Amino acid sequence: MHYTGRFAPSPTGPLHFGSLLAAVGSYCDARAAGGRWLLRMEDIDAPRAMPGASDQILRQLEAYGLAWDGPVLYQSTRGDEYLAALEQLQAQGDVFWCRCSRTELARLGTGVYPGTCRAFTTPRSDAAIRLRVPEGITSFKDVVFGPQEESVARQTGDFVLRRRDGLFSYQLAVVVDDAAQGVTRVVRGADLLDNTARQIVLQQRLGLASPTYLHLPLAVHADGSKLSKQTHAAPLPVPASPGLLRQALQRLGQTLLPPEEAASCADILSAGVANWDPRRVRVEARMAPGETQSS
């Protein structure tokens, strides 16, 4: 099967160094396999999207030489496809309508949906739609983190596919879009590792093939907190900083060109693809105390 990978940022702000790790890892993995690398803008949650962030992300990727194949896919244009998936699940008896509020569920303190509204199979406008998760163990092998097993029913429970406000969930959108784009390998940050079992369960209910998964270690601050927009990570500079691109490959455990041979982003990225070896990816990628992401 021909390799198809993707990078799927959320336009809640510009890309930062942590985003660059995911973009570079997914790009190199795809190009080293002779595959396609697609770009998807995960703008399904319109209230969280930052005006102008999508265009800024495109400029940042272009500046660092991360050229994608084909047109950008915007989740905000895909409502009909998500609705069709929900209708399929409804016809199969795989969904129910839930009126439980987040506050009510939070009081339980377990993080596992208790099945309160499972009997409500009639559509209603004032409720979220949840997947009726079957019992059983979901297993997969992550390229970096190794064999994984999870009972989604016991660890998460029936999860939301469409929110009460009508917005489709990340889980539904990503599963439908990965299948529609023919994605065969998902390369993304390790913060999404615990989403994978849920997505595989949903793929199975929809009759879709599951891609293979490669989760990359996160870039974190010296105090251990994830480098993110919420922790005020600095945007990737444009024009590009070749040093940041080199640093990203280094943090992914990859072989680098000598500094005197890596004057441009094109040189660094070309060598990154040529030398790419996912077996060298380290589980931890921690910023040293006092180090800044612009170094």
Query: What was the pLDDT predicted at 109?
Result: 87
pLDDT in tens, 168-201: 999 999 999 999 999 999 999 999 999 999 999 9
Task: Please give the span between the terminal C-alpha atoms of the chain, in angstroms, as a whole number.
Answer: 40
The sheet that has 36-41: what strands, in order across it? 4-7, 36-41, 73-74
pLDDT in tens, 3-26: 999 999 999 999 999 999 999 999
DSSP string, 192-221: GGGGHHHHHHHHHHHT-PPPEEEEEPPEE-
pLDDT in tens, 134-173: 999 999 999 999 999 999 999 999 999 999 999 999 999 9
Q: At 286, is the pLDDT very low, low, confident or very high (cuts 50, 70, 90)? A: very low
Q: CA torsion sign, 133 to 137 to 140 to 145? A: positive
The torsion angle over the Cα atoms of residues 15, 21, 26 and 32, rounded to 10 degrees, is 130
Query: What was the pLDDT predicted at 290?
Result: 31
What's the pTM value of the predicted model, to 2 decimals?
0.91
d(CA 145, CA 139): 13
DSSP character at residue 158: S
Reply yes or no on whether the pLDDT at 33 is more than 90: yes
d(CA 31, CA 53): 26
DSSP character at residue 77: G
Residues 29 and 142: beta-carbon distance below 8 Å: no
d(CA 14, CA 134): 38
**What CATH code is assigned to 4-286?**
3.40.50.620
The full set of domain ranges for the chain reads 4-286
pLDDT in tens, 39-82: 999 999 988 999 999 999 999 999 999 999 999 999 999 999 99
Q: At 293, is the pLDDT very low, low, confident or very high (cuts 50, 70, 90)? A: very low
Contacts with 26 (C-beta within 8 Å, 6 or more apart), sequence order: 5, 6, 7, 37, 187, 188
User: Both tokens of residue 71?
Assistant: 């047109």
pLDDT in tens, 87-111: 999 999 999 999 999 999 999 888 8
Query: What was the pLDDT predicted at 265?
Result: 93
pLDDT in tens, 214-250: 999 987 655 555 655 665 678 999 999 999 999 999 9
